[in-house]
């Protein structure tokens, strides 16, 4: 896996115009951020519940599909992020 060094909220994946990021040093609940155009959302890793923000329904569906299939990698990146360690890239939705 490729490690990501750099900003406090590095990009961990990108697909179909959707950018997935995660804050380093963030607090719970375990989550990631999705951005699609001017839309932004915070999404829980455990159940893909939208914690804040909004995404168009089609983009949200793709984010949920991606997150469901990559939950172990997201959980691993969350552990790295809370320890302020470099994150791993996660394969995009194809």
Q: Where are the domains of the chain?
A: 3-88
Tell which residue, 74, 87, 75, has the closest CA to residue 4: 87
The answer to whether the CB of 22 falls within 8 A of the CB of 77 is: yes
- The better pLDDT of the pair 26, 23 is held by 23
Mean pLDDT, residues 49-59 taken together: 97
Give 57-93 pLDDT, tens digit per residue.
Answer: 999 999 999 999 999 999 999 999 999 889 999 999 9
β-pair partners for 2: none
Average pLDDT over residues 32-41: 97
Task: Kindly report the pTM of this predicted structure.
Answer: 0.90
């Amino acid at each position: 896996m490729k490690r990501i060094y750099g900003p406090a909220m590095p990009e961990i994946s990108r697909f179909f115009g959707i950018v997935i990021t995660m804050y380093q040093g963030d607090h719970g609940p375990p989550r990631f951020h999705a951005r699609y155009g001017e839309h932004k959302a915070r999404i829980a890793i455990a159940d893909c519940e939208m914690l804040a923000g909004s995404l168009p329904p089609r983009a949200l569906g793709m984010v949920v599909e991606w997150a469901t299939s990559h939950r172990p990698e997201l959980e691993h990146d969350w552990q790295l992020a809370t320890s302020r360690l470099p994150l791993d890239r996660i394969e995009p939705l194809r």
